[in-house]
């Protein structure tokens, strides 16, 4: 792939969230982000596997 | 003026750090409480006086959805379900 | 958004290890010791220790919180009890 040297560097995925996490959690940002990433992965994996449907079908609160 | 400006900046830095530390402690504890629920029976009190019980599976990190199993609804059991957190008033469990 | 959700982390932290009474939507009332307040959802984790060493945990979702009343400070004993309850091995890890 031909890359033009003058092109601005692309923002890497997760980079923006990393900056936000640092602002919110300071020196503990990496620890909190690690815990959150693990938790979100677990959630995504379980949803993929079990294909749960919303209950109730219609939200109680809009 | 340089001294007072830098001490003001220091004071701001300290306040920010205190705020960040408080947020980290609170968030880490909350994440731990979610982890502690995994696999346990949890009772959910929802709006419109709806009460259900289910085995807790997982939460997304924005606390918008809970993935649960064996949800006991007033009209029967749903094997796998997602609860919308905005529908919930409280939930409780034993540890 | 309700005033409880707009508080800052240092304000929420003041409730940690304290006994509170929470009034929530649909006139529900809860009492217990505050383990934490989630800074993302403002949900309050309340603990009521049982005689047998176990504990009853009630979480009031931040969006449903109407009022929180401070009752008493739990002191060091409650602080220890609460933190060990949720640690993976049941032992409080001391940060280095």
Whether A10 maps to a domain, the answer reads: no
Q: Enter the tokens of residue B11.
A: 């004071």
Whether A44 maps to a domain, the answer reads: yes
Preferred mutation among C8, C49, C57, C83 to probe B, highest tally of B CBs within 10 A = C57
Q: What is the pLDDT of residues B74-90, one digit of tens each?
A: 889 999 999 999 999 99
Q: What is the pLDDT of residues B1-36, one digit of tens each?
A: 556 667 777 888 888 999 999 999 999 999 999 999
Least CB–CB distance from B88: residue in C8, C55, C61: C61
Can you count the helices (H) and strands (E) in chain A? 2, 1
Q: What is the pLDDT of residues C2-58, one digit of tens each?
A: 899 999 999 999 999 999 999 999 999 999 999 999 999 999 999 999 988 899 999
Q: What is the pLDDT of residues C49-92, one digit of tens each?
A: 998 889 999 999 999 999 999 999 989 999 999 999 988 664 44
Percent of chain B clearing pLDDT 70 (strictly above)? 95
Beta-carbon neighbour count of residue A44 at 10 Å? 13
**Residue among C89, C83, C91, C68 at smallest CA distance from C19:** C68
Whether A23 maps to a domain, the answer reads: yes
Q: Total structural domains in chain A?
A: 1
CB B7 within 8 A of CB B61: no
**What pLDDT does B2 receive?**
58
- The three-class DSSP label of residue A22 is helix
Whether A9 maps to a domain, the answer reads: no
CATH class given for the domain over B38-95: mainly beta
Q: Enter the tokens of residue A18.
A: 């990393």
For C17, residues 6+ apart whose C-beta sits below 8 A from its C-beta are C33, C34, C73, C74, C75, C78, C79, C82
**What pLDDT does B12 receive?**
82
Beta-carbon neighbour count of residue B71 at 10 Å? 20
Whether A32 maps to a domain, the answer reads: yes
A56 to chain B: which residues are within 8 Å by CB?
Answer: 50, 73, 87
**DSSP one-letter code for A60:** S
- Cβ within 8 Å of C, B 7-66: 18-19, 22-23, 25-27, 29-30, 32-33, 35-36, 45, 47, 49, 61-63
Q: Enter the tokens of residue B95.
A: 């540890």
Does A32 lie at the interface with B, CB-CB under 8 angstroms?
yes
For C73, residues 6+ apart whose C-beta sits below 8 A from its C-beta are C17, C18, C19
- Mind listing the domains of chain C with CATH numbers? 3-85 (2.30.30.100)
Domain span at A40? 15-50
Sequence ranges of the domains in chain B? 1-37, 38-95
Cβ-defined contact of A27 to B20 (cutoff 8 Å): yes
């Amino acid at each position: 792939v031909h890359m033009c040297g003058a092109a601005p560097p692309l923002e890497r995925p997760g980079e923006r969230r990393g900056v936000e996490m640092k602002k919110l959690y300071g020196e503990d940002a990496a620890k909190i982000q690690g815990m959150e990433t693990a938790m979100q992965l677990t959630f995504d994996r379980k949803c993929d596997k079990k294909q749960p449907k919303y209950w109730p079908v219609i939200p109680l609160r809009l | 003026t340089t001294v007072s400006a830098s001490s003001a900046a220091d004071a701001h830095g300290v306040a920010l750090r205190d705020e960040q530390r408080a947020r980290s402690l609170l968030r880490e504890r909350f994440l731990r409480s979610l982890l502690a629920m995994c696999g346990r029976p949890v009772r959910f009190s929802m709006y419109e006086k709806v009460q259900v019980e289910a085995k807790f599976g997982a939460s997304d990190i924005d606390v918008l959805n809970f993935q649960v199993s064996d949800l006991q609804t007033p009209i029967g059991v749903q094997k796998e379900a997602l609860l919308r957190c905005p529908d919930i008033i409280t939930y409780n469990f034993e540890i | 958004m309700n005033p409880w959700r707009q508080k800052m982390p240092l304000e929420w932290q003041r409730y940690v290890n304290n006994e509170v009474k929470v009034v929530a939507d649909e006139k529900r009332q809860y009492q217990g010791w505050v383990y934490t307040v989630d800074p993302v959802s403002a949900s309050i984790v309340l603990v009521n220790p049982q005689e047998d060493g176990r504990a009853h945990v009630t979480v009031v979702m931040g969006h449903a919180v109407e009022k929180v009343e401070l009752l008493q400070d739990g002191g060091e004993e409650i602080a220890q009890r609460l933190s060990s309850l949720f640690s993976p091995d049941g032992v409080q890890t001391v940060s280095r």
